[in-house]
Amino acid sequence: MDAKRSGASLSIETCPHYLTFSSEEVPDGDTRFKCSPPICGDTNRENLWKALLDGHIDMLSSDHSPSTPDLKLMEEGDFLRAWGGISSLQGAILPGYHADIVVWNPKQNFNLTITMLYIINIRIFQRI
């Protein structure tokens, strides 16, 4: 963040799952939570929230390596072999599918709450 404060041209982003989950809450063998970088502890999550609320994080985005349920190898529970991405904000826009559509207005402000992210992530994990 020092580089950004000194005028460096960079942006900082995080994903909703890093703001919602902590490693202490990940059940053993539940490969749905495997991502890179991995979900860290509660202290890291709290620091991310502070950075977001203080305006240091520029955007929330989907995982850059989303995964279909079959690639997560949930029956095996093998974190080493399971795909390391979390499907979060992306979705198919087809009849019968749930669509995750975002309309973004960079000039409009709103308060993002932990409840909003929790609901988004719970719905995603219910689909997997």
pLDDT digits (tens, 9 = 90+) for 57-83: 888 887 767 788 899 999 999 999 999
- Per-residue confidence (pLDDT) for residue 29, from 0 to 100: 93
CA torsion 43-45-50-56 (nearest 10°) is 120
Q: How many CB atoms are closer than 10 A to CB 60?
A: 18
Cα–Cα dist 3/33, whole Å: 31
- The amino acid that residue 54 corresponds to is D
CATH architecture of the domain covering 10-127:
Alpha-Beta Barrel (3.20)
With cut-offs at 50, 70 and 90, classify the pLDDT of residue 101.
Answer: low
pTM of the model: 0.67
pLDDT for residue 24? 96
What is the overall mean pLDDT for the chain? 82
**Gap between the Cα atoms of 108 and 81, Å rounded:** 42
Mean pLDDT throughout 95-99?
72
